Structure 1
Amino acid sequence: MKQIFIITGLCMSLFASAQIGKRFPSERKEIKDPVTGARLVFLTSTQAGDSKIYQTHNQWTSDGEWLIFRSNRARNEALAVHEKTGEMVQVTEGGYTGMLNVARKSMRLYFMRYPQRDTARRTQSDTARRRNPIPLQIVEVDLAKVFADSKAGKMQPAHVYQRICGTIPIELEGGGDMALDGDEEWAYFRVGKAAAAKHLPAGTKPADNFGPRNMGAGPTGIAAMNVKTGEIKYVVSVPFQIGHIQTNPWMPGEIVFCWETGGKSPQRTWTVMRDGTGLRPVYPEAEYEWVTHEAVISKDEVAIAIMGHRKIGGVDTTGTAVGGANPGQDPAWGPSGTREKPTGLAIVNLRTRESYIAGQTKSGSGLWHVSGSPDGRWAVGDDFKRDIYLIDRHSNEMILLSAGHKPTAADHPHPTMSEDGTKIQIQSAMLSADGKSMNICIIYLPDEWLKRTYK
């Protein structure tokens, strides 16, 4: 009897530690960039395994005060940090999978998760899940209510704050990326091979894997759920592996996604409308171009990185085949990614289909993960060294905005520009003693650049 009591007490303790609304003390630190002097605000500053949402998605809540992120402070849960005070609050309970989606028009958070009754299954491998699949739910969180009740110290059970929007039919094999539509009524998710094959146009041959990572084979597809009613709609099937589904926040019904190979793709960037029409490449690329990390940055524009990270001819100055730790150096990727042709941070207009290079580093890997301001004023990118570069799109000037974020970091900075174009969120290992563990950091644009006027 005593043993049962101890186990029950342990379970209750673990449940309490993962409770929605749990508060964490502020770790906010403001410093000057040691290289550039830029103003940096670290919203987290201990080695707790933090990571930001991917740069294809929104980071800030609709009131502009909180950023949503992931952390081992509450493993497999999402947290929010207040930009001005640094206070942190756990905003999910029961786990999630895939991408976190922060609404721009309401204080809501959306994500996919496995049903709570299948908690143990969430720890299984992807192979085990494929053998005995379970359906995914899409869940909505009322962030305003979580913040208010957490601050008042009057939290209620999780179901008061979390609403199940609906369950993805198991035959769709839903999973992977999820993206909230610009109208915030539909959420898009990836569809598995068997389901996608049923909607593939007749005579379409599924693609094989591409590149040394043995990824990219299809078919896969995209489907949508109405987060208000739970209605499911099928969007499109394609013959390749879909990755990085994102939406245009300013144009409801417009979707951007990629052909995911883990590196260079035959044709990386794609767009389609919610009704399945308009499927086409965003930027038709040549064999020698290595296009990656597309991000919708304004109503009409997508930023992409055209990489210039590889030695010309695939060999270094000694004639040795290029290899190494940085992504894409394996010769098996083919002839792309060198600077024999123009490379850099490119802007593509979704309406006119015109594109241009906004900027490029003179050496090194070139710009890699990219973002920009919705008003068309700024573009930003990181490189393999984890340095952050800012581009004034009016004058075409580029500066090294922030450095010292440690190339040993567990992940890349993934810069995301704020909607008002005054700051950039990254993840950084600058403060970590181990050189790996990352923190949530805000870089504020220089005042002298913000004060610029243009004819």
Structure 2
Amino acid sequence: MKCPIIKTATLIAFLQLMSGSCLQLAAQIGTRFPSEKKVVQDPVTGVHLTFLTSTPSGDSKIYPTHPQWTADGNWLVFRSNRVKGEAMAVNEETGDIVQITEGGYTGMLTLSRKEMRLYFMRERGGDNGLQLISVDLGKLFADSETGRLQEKTAYEKIHGSIPAHMANGGDMALDADEKKIYFKVSRQVAGKHLPKDAEIEKSFGPRNMGAGPGGIASMDLGTGEIKHVVSVPFQVGHVQTNLWVPEELVFCWETGGKAPQRTWTVRADGTGLRPLYPEADYEWVTHEAVITKDEVAFAIMGHRPVIMQEASGVEIGNPENPGQEADWGPSGTREKPTGLAIVNLRTREMRIEGQTETGSGLWHVHGSPDGRWAVGDDFSRSLYLIDRKTKAMRLITAGHKTTAADHPHPTFHPDGNRFQIQSAMLSDDDRSMNICVVEIPEAWYGKE
């Protein structure tokens, strides 16, 4: 098997490439891979799609609740199997790909918006819990460009440790002031902070998820001090922060589908705990994401037939048409309003910005920080752009294959003029995904 051509600027790096094992070389933080950048035209809409990766290497993007681009706006960070268990970054202009972790990570890749730094959790092995680590990406990219790479300790900083009895995966989020990280805690720890008479929720729905208790804690990035934030009687998921307002958190009741009350918000000191959008039994709320300093986007699903029975023509349990099981209850039909919804954190007012006429309806949603655009995907992996100024909604890109390993998960760039997705459009196996950027055509601005 041939080694990948790795861009370096020194004879030493070239000799390393020519000799030794590709796997050993690729294990080093800062290793560079050649550009795979391709610009293709969407076969349905004609919109230009910039694929920053285009080989079947197990790529997937960061979840839409978190930043995708580095602080300078030039690099996209993503998960990949180019080096199994390690994270990558791709330069949007040049297409250069750089390995940015060494030694693995677990859970959420969390980018700073103020400095060139990546935060993540790493398992310490055995019963030793997790370490919170950050990587100086600015220094790493510079050394990688010149070929003068150092040991990983030259780029890593250890901020603190989470004991094994407290650890609950690597789901975490960086505070807007970037002085703290928030993370999920174990049921054992969460339970200690609940009132003795609290009624613990049981699993909800056919996936047997959602049982409590759950909780969130914080870690001071300077001292490593851990403080408990909040406990709730249900399973916590999708911990995220308001990227503009310090100490404001959003999280969900995670069931793998419909929850009795999906969206929640709380302050970092545990005060202000409340449902973000109080939902009715007939509403299937999902995939919340903070999009501006005052707003959270989410989907109110309209993916189920009004009469929930097999005779409706919908295959129950079909992975291409999920959420049809009767155990989810009566929600998710279009008997009531559905679509891409946006709720204001201050006024608590909600409005529905748009919905597809047919099909599953919008599923994973996001919006531009300037408040101009909203975007959502549906079960067909098609994406629709909504102009919040004119209320015009149109298909922007399609053909991303229902057989893809995951959903597109659109996320806007801070500039608001483009968004990132993951796509199987170029994949011969119809499953493996690549990192793709969709730019909003200039002609779409101001048009109705």
Aligned partners of 1:171, 1:316: CA distance in 2, in Å?
A: 45
1:376 and 2:371 matched: yes
Match of 1:210 among 192, 204, 207: 204
1:45 and 2:54 matched: yes
Name the one with the larger helix percent: 1
Match of 2:214 among 195, 217, 220: 220
Deviation at 1:324, TM superposition (A): 2.2
Q: What secondary structure does 1:425 align onto?
A: strand
1:187-216 CA distance string (max 9 Å, x none)? 111011111110012311110000000000
Deviation at 1:321, TM superposition (A): 7.8
Match of 1:366 among 361, 368, 377: 361
Judging changes above 3 Å, is the alpha-carbon distance between structure 1 residues 433 and 320 closer, same or farther for their aligned structure 2 residues? closer
Deviation at 1:315, TM superposition (A): 2.4
Residue 427 of structure 2 aligns with an amino acid whose one-letter code is S
Match of 1:434 among 423, 426, 429: 429
1:261-310 CA distance string (max 9 Å, x none)? 00100000000010000000000000000000000000000000000000
Q: How does 1:444-455 map to 2 (within 5 A)?
A: 444-450=439-445, 452=446
TM-score by length of structure 1 reads 0.92
Tell me which residue corresponds to 2:148. Answer: 154
Tell me which residue corresponds to 1:170. Answer: 164
Tell me which residue corresponds to 1:232. Answer: 226
Judging changes above 3 Å, is the alpha-carbon distance between structure 1 residues 24 and 312 closer, same or farther for their aligned structure 2 residues? same
Q: How does 1:71-82 map to 2 (within 5 A)?
A: 71-82=80-91
Deviation at 1:140, TM superposition (A): 0.6
1:85-109 CA distance string (max 9 Å, x none)? 1000000111000000011111000
Aligned partners of 2:45, 2:219: CA distance in 1, in Å?
A: 45
Judging changes above 3 Å, is the alpha-carbon distance between structure 1 residues 164 and 318 closer, same or farther for their aligned structure 2 residues? closer
Judging changes above 3 Å, is the alpha-carbon distance between structure 1 residues 396 and 150 closer, same or farther for their aligned structure 2 residues? same
Q: What secondary structure does 2:82 align onto?
A: helix
Aligned partners of 2:328, 2:25: CA distance in 1, in Å?
A: 48
Q: Is the 8 A contact 2:121 2:170 kept in 1?
A: no
Deviation at 1:446, TM superposition (A): 1.1
Deviation at 1:449, TM superposition (A): 2.0
Judging changes above 3 Å, is the alpha-carbon distance between structure 1 residues 319 and 398 closer, same or farther for their aligned structure 2 residues? closer
Judging changes above 3 Å, is the alpha-carbon distance between structure 1 residues 135 and 12 closer, same or farther for their aligned structure 2 residues? farther
1:244 and 2:204 matched: no
Aligned partners of 1:171, 1:435: CA distance in 2, in Å?
A: 41
Aligned partners of 1:409, 1:265: CA distance in 2, in Å?
A: 26
Aligned partners of 1:163, 1:356: CA distance in 2, in Å?
A: 43
1:33 and 2:27 matched: no
Tell me which residue corresponds to 1:59. Answer: 68
Q: Is the 8 A contact 2:128 2:163 kept in 1?
A: no
Aligned partners of 1:74, 1:13: CA distance in 2, in Å?
A: 10
Tell me which residue corresponds to 2:119. Answer: 110
Gapped regions of structure 2 (runs ≥ 5) = 1-18
Gapped regions of structure 1 (runs ≥ 5) = 1-9, 122-132
Aligned partners of 2:225, 2:403: CA distance in 1, in Å?
A: 45
1:100-157 CA distance string (max 9 Å, x none)? 0011111000011112xx3xx6xxxxxxxxxxx3310000100000000000000000
Aligned partners of 1:190, 1:319: CA distance in 2, in Å?
A: 40
1:310 and 2:304 matched: yes
Q: Is the 8 A contact 2:120 2:170 kept in 1?
A: no
Tell me which residue corresponds to 1:142. Answer: 136
